[in-house]
Amino acid sequence: MPPCAGTALAMITAVAAFTAFGSATVSYGAENDGHLFVNLVVIAGIGDIPKKSTRSMSGHTDGVLFPIRGQNDPDDVRIAPSPDFVGLCCLRNPDNVPTNVMPLAAVLNGMSDTLVEELRKP
């Protein structure tokens, strides 16, 4: 993470927002070395990894098949429960690389009523 006031403010704001929701901030030890915050930026250099970092991020849903809070995976004890909320903090960048955030309403409007009802279940 870039050591600057904007990054610190974004992290503090995210933790405060989750606290206001009555949620804890947790990270997955198997992802990003367990870091709570990850800086997603273009990687300099030549090769597959730097090239991949310049492409658009595909849709990413954290653990939709994982158990809900308070339940364990019956087949694999290493699987953590799904998060209740996933946060995205966006800071301006010197190259003005755009970040697209999909509003929840737009996602839900594109889903069938059956899927939306499934998501509303406890």
Segments making up each domain of the chain, as ranges = 1-122
- Comparing 21 with 122, which gets the higher pLDDT? 21
Cα 79 off chain centre by: 17
Q: What is the pLDDT of residue 57?
A: 61
First to last CA, the chain: 35
DSSP designation for 59: P
- Please tell me the pTM assigned to this model: 0.51
Tokens at 100, concatenated: 């697209």
Q: What is the pLDDT of residue 112?
A: 93
pLDDT tens-digit readout, 45-104: 888 888 877 776 655 555 567 787 788 888 887 777 777 777 777 776 667 666 677 788
- Cα dihedral across residues 65, 71, 74, 75: positive or negative: positive
pLDDT tens-digit readout, 15-33: 898 899 888 787 776 667 7
What residue type is 108 in one-letter code? L
